[in-house]
Chains A and B, each alone.
Chain A
């Protein structure tokens, strides 16, 4: 099947925040079991069309999920490799998972392809309103501080799941189109051989340092 862009997103966040359920909800339950056992990564795929500047781009979206190995160790290079966008999840009913968001952002700065990658933050389990401990403004405030968009999502009823992924895709596509040399972006055919050759410090309308 032909496509114009292969885009890889990672779902990150503490154990139990609903990463797998989130991706499962987005991709209608499909996953790739073969991959899990060797590299500890499960990925789901989705085809979609993305419109920009009046052009339709055929997107092949890969959504990567861990198999829980982060409970034994920190996630290393193999997991972050070639990822272009990050879905950073916490559980609205779990304060600790919200506090850990800052550490996850730090991890991203170290391991992602550049110091300010495209991220959307998702406060998941929004359906469990009576158990909620994180208010919307508190989460929004944190997201804005880092220049990221914030969504309240529910993997259980599907609330904002598509909206969050779409928003991340829009950001990534803007970066793709404004990058100095598109051939050097991960996912594009003929990508750069060394990270040092990639210059992604292009001006974007983002409130972050690069």
Chain B
């Protein structure tokens, strides 16, 4: 499969759509449609999960309601299977907690004329030393 030259627009569009669902507690369950039941992987703060069921269990188990988010940068690259690799850098605020930096990597896999999230890696920007 050829490189998808729309990778920049796909990356930006996906990130906007993904966080619009994630950050609204009533919409969050709809994220299930972004993942494959078997072949999606997530690493959330070091916890490894496979498949949309496990992934949604994790996301629905998070104890905050609303998220406020500021995206600093979205970097995308086309992949040789027609997919798109995306790295997001930003800050988020869960309910009234202090804001945290975060980074998230998505790998979108083509499926028909759309995509699903094959890989998703999330980390808060918190370090072991000051």
What residues make up the interface of A, taking CB atoms closer than 8 Å to B? 14-15, 35-40, 42, 67-69, 71-73, 77-78
Smallest beta-carbon distance B28→chain A, Å: 14
List chain B residues, Cβ under 8 A from A78: 127-129
Does the CB pair A67–B97 fall under 8 Å?
yes
Number of interface residues of B (CB under 8 A): 19
Does the CB pair A39–B98 fall under 8 Å?
no
Given that A36-B98, A42-B98 are known contacts, is A71 also in contact with B62, CB under 8 Å in the complex? yes
- B1 lies within 8 A of chain A by Cβ: no
Does the CB pair B127–A69 fall under 8 Å?
no
Does the CB pair B128–A39 fall under 8 Å?
yes
Smallest beta-carbon distance A61→chain B, Å: 19
30 pairs, CB–CB < 8 Å, chain A vs chain B: A15-B97, A35-B130, A36-B98, A38-B127, A38-B130, A39-B126, A39-B128, A39-B129, A39-B130, A40-B126, A67-B98, A67-B100, A68-B94, A68-B98, A69-B100, A69-B124, A69-B126, A71-B63, A71-B64, A71-B94, A71-B97, A72-B45, A72-B62, A72-B124, A73-B44, A73-B46, A73-B47, A73-B124, A78-B127, A78-B129
List chain B residues, Cβ under 8 A from A71: 62-64, 94, 97
**Assembly CA distance A133 to B121 (angstroms):** 39
